[in-house]
Amino acid sequence: MPELIDLLRQNAPVARVAEYLDGLTHDERLRALSTTTRADQRALYNAASAAPALTLDFFVPSGTPRRVAVHHKGRNSLPLPSPLRFFEKRFALPEDGSARLFGYNEGLTRSWIGPGFFVAVPTAGNLAWQERGAVVIDYFQVPDGPVPDGWPRVVPNSKGLQSVVYDGTRDFMRRVSKDVSIGAAFKGEKALDHYFTLCREPGGA
């Protein structure tokens, strides 16, 4: 059986990649995603343009109570020591019932960079954004209502060292498989050529 990186380097269609990932256990999926380079993640993001469009309930499945976090394990392509490339994006439905998600980044760097709060929204209606992905994780916005118990205090992304990483940034998300998505980072409207994979945790969190 081919490995994930073999499929990506053979330019396999995203449906074949999804079939492979869906056939793995959760831990096997995480291990497979951990082998990807930036070039592999770029190829995956490009291939995922042909996948079905994401909706918000991909990140927080239908029926999840409001203010209950759903965790997605992430790995990015930044030029960092390997342990610092791993992180989580945590998502939750806001109390107000609006069509958006609140979230932040959890990982080894949070204590010194900051939580990187965001609001995730559909890109429908913005033609340029729609081409990049059906959901955008928007760091121009931070939660303006209650967040799940246990989350850090909400702070703007312009505060502290996190301004270097998160301020003025948006991540555009595409579906890969049942549990896996791929994001591309933009600073304003400029593509940064940096990517990350997310894998939803079983049972939501």
Q: 127-175 pLDDT, tens per residue?
A: 999 999 999 999 999 999 999 999 999 999 998 888 888 999 999 999 9
In angstroms, the CA 187 to CA 166 distance is 9
Query: Could you give the domains of the chain?
Result: 52-200 (2.40.160)
Element holding 29 (H helix, E strand): helix 26-33
Q: Over the stretch 23-57, which tens digit does the pLDDT of each residue have? A: 999 999 999 999 999 999 999 999 999 999 999 99
pLDDT, position 2 = 66
Burial class (CB in 10 A: 0-12, 13-18, 19+), 111: exposed
Euclidean distance between CA atoms 79 and 17, whole angstroms = 25
Could you write out the DSSP letters of every residue in 95-145? TT--S-EEEEEEETTHHHH----EEEEE-TT-HHHHHH-SEEEETT----S
4: β partners: none
What pLDDT, in 10s, does the model give residues 98-129?
A: 999 999 999 888 888 889 999 999 999 999 99
Asked if the model's pLDDT at residue 189 lies above 60, the reply is: yes
Q: For the residues 87-106, what does the mean pLDDT come to?
A: 97
Query: What pLDDT score was predicted for residue 116?
Result: 95
4-19: average pLDDT: 96
Q: Yes or no: say if 38 and 77 are a contact pair by the CB < 8 Å rule.
A: yes
